[in-house]
């Protein structure tokens, strides 16, 4: 949405961040590989993108110890996650659950670790539901696929249907 603040975890060279930048208010990409972050800044400049910023550092550290960047960036409406094949560290999953963005878009090159991470997210917070899971065969004639899962925060009006029914009948 045009006013969405987006965090792009494991942002690499900024491909997803830059692609979505015309459609959102701002994007903050986090990536551990410093040369990829330098390339992301360069890519944003080459594409005249002004609403993206990129931060170098270990995501787990940036979510728990060095959180100064979060004071300068509004809480996200959307978090895009595109981790390595090994998936997310459990502490990162826990932090995402605590942030509770309206939408999580999890792009994965390993459906097994993606399923593990989503299950873990549901263990930390029951406040999400899966909207869609879409495999994409980007590597024909191999066993590799990309898999995209979109999770939405369950609206508070649906979190306790018994309470809602009682309130609506009075």
What is the longest distance spanned by two Cα atoms in the chain?
Answer: 60
Report whether 117 belongs to an annotated binding site.
no
Report whether 39 belongs to an annotated binding site.
no
Catalytic residue among 56, 70, 107, 109: 109
Which residue, among 55, 46, 48, has the nearest Cα to 12 in the 3D structure? 55
Taking the alpha carbons at both ends of the chain, their separation in whole angstroms is: 36
DSSP SS3 for 151: strand
Q: Classify residue 90 by burial, with Cβ atoms within 10 Å: 0-12, 13-18, 19+.
A: middle
Q: Other CB atoms closer than 10 Å to residue 35's CB: what's the count?
A: 10
Which residues have C-beta within 8 Å of that of residue 75, sequence separation ≥ 6?
5, 99, 101
Report whether 143 belongs to an annotated binding site.
no
Q: Other CB atoms closer than 10 Å to residue 52's CB: what's the count?
A: 24
Tell me whether residue 52 is one of the annotated catalytic residues: no
Annotated binding-site members for S-adenosyl-L-methionine: 10, 31, 82
Catalytic residues: 109
Annotated binding-site members: 10, 31, 82
């Amino acid at each position: 949405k045009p006013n969405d603040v987006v965090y792009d975890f494991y942002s690499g060279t900024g491909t997803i961040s830059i692609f979505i930048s015309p459609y959102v208010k701002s994007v903050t990409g986090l990536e551990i590989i410093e040369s990829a972050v330098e390339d992301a800044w360069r890519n944003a400049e080459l594409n005249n993108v002004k609403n993206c910023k990129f931060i170098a550092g270990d995501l787990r550290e940036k979510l728990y110890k060095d959180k100064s960047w979060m004071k300068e960036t509004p809480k996200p409406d959307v978090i895009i996650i595109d981790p390595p094949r090994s998936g997310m560290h459990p502490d990162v999953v826990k932090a995402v659950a605590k942030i509770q963005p309206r939408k999580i878009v999890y792009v994965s090159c390993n459906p097994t670790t993606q399923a593990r991470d989503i299950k873990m997210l549901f263990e930390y917070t029951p406040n999400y539901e899966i909207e869609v899971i879409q495999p994409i065969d980007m590597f024909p004639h191999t066993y590799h696929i990309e898999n995209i899962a979109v999770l939405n925060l369950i609206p508070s009006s649906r979190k306790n249907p018994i309470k809602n029914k009682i309130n609506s009948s009075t």
